[in-house]
Chain A
Amino acid sequence: MSQNRNWLLPLSAGALALLIVASLWVGDLPLSPTRVWAGLWHHDELAATVLWQIRLPRLIVAVLIGAALSSSGLVMQAYFRNSLASPGLLGVSSGGAAGAVIAIASGWSAVSLFILPAASIVGALVATSAVLILARRGASTERLLLAGIALNALLGAITSYVLTGYTLTYERNAQILFWLMGGLEDRTWEHVWVVLPVVVVAALLWPLGRSMDLVSLGSEEAQSLGVDVRHLHRKMLVLATVLTALATAVAGAVGFVGLIVPHSFRLLSGPEHRRLVPVTLIGGAGFVLACDLVARTVGHLRLGIVTALIGGPFFLWLLRRER
């Protein structure tokens, strides 16, 4: 039966490659394949600008946040032993949102392209530290969950306050809402640099796969089978948090990726994390890239809307299937 599943990784990689090609080709400015080729080699100035300054950064950010959010969701699902867990459970993305919203409302985000992502990361880290402190050392997963719920509520309130009570101009409100929906418009190479550490973090995740198998079936059982659960849990939490924080910082609050992708690939590829980690990384990258392609071609939707429109019904279908 495991032979069946070995095709999934090459298939996903192939799909990702196709999506990358499509993402270079598709855009508001129509470019023929020859112009795309010429642009890539800098032979055609306008095409080169469009490809190298607009489409390529956007494409790389999409791939990296797709990988980040899906692997973060995978880790959360193993951590909480629940296939419905998602990266936002512990308030990381709410913290990132609050940080970004404050940066936009105060006008600081206009000063430099790095400020908005930086504010978002600060917000995310503050939120996570708050959760960890609230939950204390050796906290059970239940306590962490509750702390996350409380934090999500608090941060949501801060965001709402800023939105309704603080902005001087409607345009800033519009920018905030724009960011909150999650999207990849006009991503620059600065955003690529901010989100590039995802590659390192994902690499750190890979060797934890076998231990995650055990821990996902029970932390005490895993402890008695030889897994140092406290250290592993700490590593998992840190990695998931960093991945989510980085993704939120450059793309806003994009939902459903961290829930849908690991869940679906687990159904297709089986629950073994050594196989699931790489497949989720690639599959997640492809999923976000595909959603972004849809977002761009179908009347300028935002990425967060597309992932929700696809993710929501898909999630309901999954729930029906299980029962």
Chain B
Amino acid sequence: MPAFVPTPLYLVLMLASAQLALSTPIRVVSQTVGSDELLLAVAEPSQIAALSHLAIDPSFSAIVKEAQPYPRITPGGDAESILKFSPTLVLFANYSRVELVEQVRRAHVQVIVLDRYATLADAYANLRLLAHALGTDARAEKVIADCTHRVATLEAKLRGVKPVRVIAPSIYALIPGDQTTFQDLCDHAGAENLAATIGHLYGHVSPPSEQMLTWPVDRIVVAGFNLNEAMAPLRNLPPYSLMPAVRENRAVLIDPYEISCVSHHRIDGYERLAHELHPEVFK
């Protein structure tokens, strides 16, 4: 993924200008669901001007309840739909539309573009970055401390446990391999993502349908709100319909947002998946 600016220098410049801007009340607009979650973790409520339109969508957001009271940007909106909240700072990701980011910059509004969000360490770095821009460093540290504690506890529980071999099929003919948020989940939940280890797949790609039938899948991981509903389409879709794990219903369910979360809330996913795959450890 090409970073279009040298990130450390960029951050320094942004932080410097943020210091200067601290005298005016801070109003932040977040344009992506990942930055929504970061913002809600470290900002004072009065600093939040608006969130992305996905903030209250349970399929994507870890913070549906917390996000309710805040206004949201119109989906697919242009720069005006962001500027109408009179922000002093706007949060984007590196996959936000270049023109949109540029238009907001040209309105002389400070912009932070998050371009590293693959690992938990990235999430911590983003929390600190954001908190520093908002003057709430203490909050960030507390959140990070809580998260570190949770991860450490989980790690301790899972020590010595045999990894469960899993895949995370989807009906879109794509499967997550290595270097995805799902891989991160597996790494922290005592699971082995066969798409990465046997399949040698990277990112979201089409799986080798025939070879997959030979993979020794212990459990299928699906995302949804109801296990049966989530499994139903797979029972009719080759090659999944032909896999023993599907036919024997050896599946676990996690929340939709957990499989794609890029913020620190992914720890929810770690814990959820670990509980589902290794119930004996949590008795």
Are A28 and B80 interface neighbours, CB within 8 A?
A: yes
Whole-angstrom distance between the Cβ of A232 and the nearest chain B Cβ: 38
Are A29 and B84 interface neighbours, CB within 8 A?
A: yes
Partner of A107, one of B1, B76, B81, B205: B1
- A157 located at the interface, meaning its Cβ lies under 8 Å from any Cβ of chain B in the complex: no
- A53 located at the interface, meaning its Cβ lies under 8 Å from any Cβ of chain B in the complex: yes
Are A186 and B99 interface neighbours, CB within 8 A?
A: yes
Are A110 and B77 interface neighbours, CB within 8 A?
A: no
The interface bits of chain B over 70-91 (1 if a CB of A lies within 8 angstroms of the residue's CB, else 0) are: 0000111111110110100000
- A233 located at the interface, meaning its Cβ lies under 8 Å from any Cβ of chain B in the complex: no
Q: Specify which chain A residues have a CB less than 8 angstroms from the CB of B282 in the assembled complex.
A: none
Q: Looking across the interface, which residue of chain B has its beta carbon closest to that of A302?
A: B76
Q: Specify which chain B residues have a CB less than 8 angstroms from the CB of A28 in the assembled complex.
A: 74, 77-78, 80-81, 84
Q: Looking across the interface, which residue of chain B has its beta carbon closest to that of A57?
A: B103
Partner of A185, one of B99, B108, B206: B99
* Bound Cα distance from A300 to B206, whole angstroms: 32
Chain A positions 210-227 with a Cβ under 8 Å from a chain B Cβ: none
Q: Looking across the interface, which residue of chain A has its beta carbon closest to that of B115?
A: A110
Size bracket, chain B contacts = 20 to 34
Q: Looking across the interface, which residue of chain B has its beta carbon closest to that of A53?
A: B106
Q: Looking across the interface, which residue of chain A has its beta carbon closest to that of B105?
A: A53
Q: Specify which chain B residues have a CB less than 8 angstroms from the CB of A178 in the assembled complex.
A: 76, 97
Q: Looking across the interface, which residue of chain B has its beta carbon closest to that of A170?
A: B204
Interface of chain B, helix or strand or loop or mixed?
loop
Partner of B103, one of A54, A164, A168, A170: A54
* Bound Cα distance from A317 to B146, whole angstroms: 65
Are A169 and B80 interface neighbours, CB within 8 A?
A: no
Partner of A113, one of B2, B86, B98: B98
- B102 located at the interface, meaning its Cβ lies under 8 Å from any Cβ of chain A in the complex: yes
Are A185 and B100 interface neighbours, CB within 8 A?
A: yes
Are A186 and B206 interface neighbours, CB within 8 A?
A: no
- B135 located at the interface, meaning its Cβ lies under 8 Å from any Cβ of chain A in the complex: no
* Bound Cα distance from A306 to B107, whole angstroms: 29
- B203 located at the interface, meaning its Cβ lies under 8 Å from any Cβ of chain A in the complex: yes
The interface bits of chain B over 101-127 (1 if a CB of A lies within 8 angstroms of the residue's CB, else 0) are: 011001110000000000000000000
Are B99 and A187 interface neighbours, CB within 8 A?
A: yes
- A264 located at the interface, meaning its Cβ lies under 8 Å from any Cβ of chain B in the complex: no
Partner of B107, one of A53, A167, A171: A53
Are B97 and A175 interface neighbours, CB within 8 A?
A: yes
Whole-angstrom distance between the Cβ of A119 and the nearest chain B Cβ: 13
Are A53 and B206 interface neighbours, CB within 8 A?
A: no
- B94 located at the interface, meaning its Cβ lies under 8 Å from any Cβ of chain A in the complex: yes
Q: Specify which chain B residues have a CB less than 8 angstroms from the CB of A27 in the assembled complex.
A: 80
Are B1 and A168 interface neighbours, CB within 8 A?
A: yes
Partner of A186, one of B93, B97, B108, B202: B97
The interface bits of chain A over 180-203 (1 if a CB of B lies within 8 angstroms of the residue's CB, else 0) are: 000001111001000000000000
Interface residues of B (CB under 8 A from A): 1-2, 4, 74-81, 83-84, 86, 93-95, 97-100, 102-103, 106-108, 173, 202-206
Interface residues of A (CB under 8 A from B): 27-30, 46, 49-50, 53-55, 58, 107-111, 113, 116, 164-165, 167-172, 175, 178, 185-188, 191, 300, 302
| 29 A-B pairs with C-beta separation under 8 A | A28-B77, A29-B80, A29-B84, A46-B107, A49-B107, A49-B108, A53-B107, A54-B107, A55-B80, A107-B1, A109-B98, A110-B2, A110-B98, A111-B2, A113-B102, A164-B173, A165-B206, A167-B204, A168-B1, A169-B95, A170-B204, A178-B76, A185-B76, A186-B102, A188-B103, A188-B106, A300-B76, A300-B77, A302-B76
6 closest residue pairs by CB, A with B:
A171-B95, A186-B99, A28-B80, A29-B84, A168-B203, A28-B81
